[in-house]
Chains A and B, each alone.
Chain A
Amino acid sequence: MSIIFNHVYHSYDADTQLKTDALSDISFKIEDGEFVGLIGHTGSGKSTLVQHMNGLMKPTEGEVYFDGKDISDKDYPIKELRSNVGLVFQYPEHQLFEATVFEDVCFGPLNQGLEKKEAELRAFTALRQVGLEETTYYQSPFDLSGGQKRRAAIAGVLAMRPKVLVLDEPTAGLDPKGRDEILSLVKKLHDEEKITIVLVSHSMDDVANYVDRILVMNKSRLVYDGTPKEVFKHAEELEQMGLAIPQVTYAMHALKKAGFDVPTDVTTIDEAVDRIIKCIS
């Protein structure tokens, strides 16, 4: 399993005055089992990019390959692609519709053509995976809190057993606790279920702690692609794009300036603690 973008372009309203280039010359490859963060300022094209991963959008130019096959081919089984690449949208309100959370989570598996029994079994497993309390299973999805809705929406996609899970800003509008919970849930899915994860966000702090690789978008282009350490070396450029490097990295820079002998390419709090202790002892 791999996802390859080969010189992908996408423009909205191509033949009018309102033409916007949302993607320009995007190329990268995501391998099986990776945990990738996709970062960019608002309007940089992140949502457009991820919708190419499951064929909801097609490139205006260039190709997207899943498992070596071009998804723009006429006879490409697009339904199969949508089962393999699960996409959770920015707002859970856009997908919740059934009378109960449980029925809503069954929607995906039933669309895959599974028996009712099997679909329900998957729904249960998915709901348990995302850690929703059992009392909420039979509540209306509209009565849930923001964080719970998000979990229900993730469960709705997980129940389809995708090989790749793409989450578009899963932490938007959540408080810090809700944010950490969702992110550790995603981390758990990656580590335990071996699902490939693409996490979209515009907060560096969000992703730095979790991902192995960061893709940075700026004005429809892919500008950086590397490990958090590599990417955060470009602190100044990132700031010009309206992105901040993680707070701990700032802290380390400040310590260094104050005369402490600490490395400045630290991106997570745990690592920072280690280094600081090492430095002062």
Chain B
Amino acid sequence: MIRDITLGQYYQADSVIHRLDPRTKITGTFFFIVTLFLAKNVWGYVIAAAFLVMSIKLCKVPFKYMVRGMKAIVILMLMTVVFNLFMTKGEVIFSFWKLSISKEGLENAVKMAIRLTFLILGSSIMTLTTTPNSLTDGLEKLLGPLKKVKVPVHEIAMMMSIALRFIPILIEETDKIMKAQMARGADFDSGNLVKRAKALVPLLVPLIISAFRRAGDLAMAMEARCYRGDSGRTRMKPLKYEKRDYIAYIVIILTLVLCIVFGRNAWWMA
């Protein structure tokens, strides 16, 4: 049940995208998002879609699996679409009761829906193909220059990687605790709001206690292995750009440029 949340979880496979340097993937995702927001007409979206389809094909993660992870965000998307649909003022094309839909509203809603879907799919390709560890390694390296102005980049990256590492563990733990309480007749999905909130206590107390215990254990294990932050730390596998990374950069920048050239002026769809 709760284990079905796949958003942001690593999916093991052997593909070019998996083998790319995490820095390439982070920068690529960032550029892709910029592309999406620069797209002003149909061609912009077509270019972005082409890039997305290519990445999905290359990364060897089943599309079904990707979409399943998106279910959690459907509500957010629906809300955005509905607000855009009804709140945008303009030429009314349809109305009932107090609500009216304008031409601009419809356009905005469609654009928003496409943008959000692309954005989530795009960033989930990054998280699905990169282990949390290499993701934070990449981030640490990319943000490295900030160390000069006393930003604790390494510590932030370490905290992030630990947090990411713990998500699946905590989800699994939640599943087990839920079952243990259900075996004692606990009921998590019926009754009114107050009753449901109360029903969460037997779930949250063991979960929080175990999270604290794990955090303590982990801290102890890190100290026992002489972890003391960034100073003097070297890497077992230093990040290194390969030929494929340069190719990926070229493709990404090409997409961005194409989108700027063909996707900006509104000559087909306003």
User: Which residues of A pack against B, CB within 8 Å?
Assistant: 15-18, 51, 54, 56, 79, 82-83, 86-89, 91, 93-97, 107-108, 111-112, 142, 156-157, 160
Contact = CB atoms under 8 A, between A and B. Distances in A.
A111 B210 CA distance: 24
A108 B185 contact: yes
Contact of A95 (B13, B64, B173, B184): B184
Given A16-B62, A16-B65, A17-B62, A95 B177 contact: yes
A97 B184 contact: no
A83 to B, nearest CB: 7
A15 B176 contact: no
B118 to A, nearest CB: 23
B179 A56 contact: yes
B184 A157 contact: yes
B186 A111 contact: yes
A66 to B, nearest CB: 14
Interface of B: 11-13, 62, 64-65, 173, 176-177, 179-187, 201-202, 205-206, 209-210
Going nearest first, the 9 A-B pairs with the smallest beta carbon separation are: A111-B185, A97-B205, A108-B184, A95-B180, A94-B180, A87-B183, A89-B180, A97-B202, A94-B177
Given A93-B210, A97-B201, A97-B205, A107 B176 contact: no
Given A56-B179, A160-B185, A107 B202 contact: yes
B209 A107 contact: no
B183 A54 contact: yes
Contacts of A18: 12
B122 to A, nearest CB: 21
A111 B201 contact: no
A53 to B, nearest CB: 10
A157 B183 contact: yes
Given A79-B185, A157-B184, 15 more contacts: A16-B65, A56-B182, A79-B187, A82-B183, A83-B185, A86-B183, A93-B210, A95-B180, A95-B184, A95-B206, A97-B202, A107-B186, A108-B184, A111-B185, A160-B184
A108 B183 CA distance: 9
A99 to B, nearest CB: 9
Nearest to A110: B185
B86 to A, nearest CB: 37
Contacts of A108: 184-185
17 contacts: A16-B62, A82-B185, A88-B183, A89-B180, A89-B183, A94-B176, A95-B177, A95-B180, A95-B202, A95-B206, A97-B202, A107-B181, A107-B184, A107-B202, A108-B184, A111-B184, A142-B209
Contacts of A83: 185
B5 to A, nearest CB: 13
Most chain-A CB neighbours within 10 Å: which of B11, B179, B201?
B179
A17 B64 CA distance: 11
B179 A93 contact: no
Nearest to B213: A93
A51 B179 contact: yes
Contacts of A54: 183
A87 B209 CA distance: 22
A16 B13 CA distance: 12
A77 to B, nearest CB: 12
Given A15-B64, A111-B187, A95 B209 contact: no
A17 B13 contact: yes
A18 B180 CA distance: 25
Contacts of B13: 17
Given A16-B62, A17-B62, A97-B202, A112 B176 contact: no
A187 B68 CA distance: 47
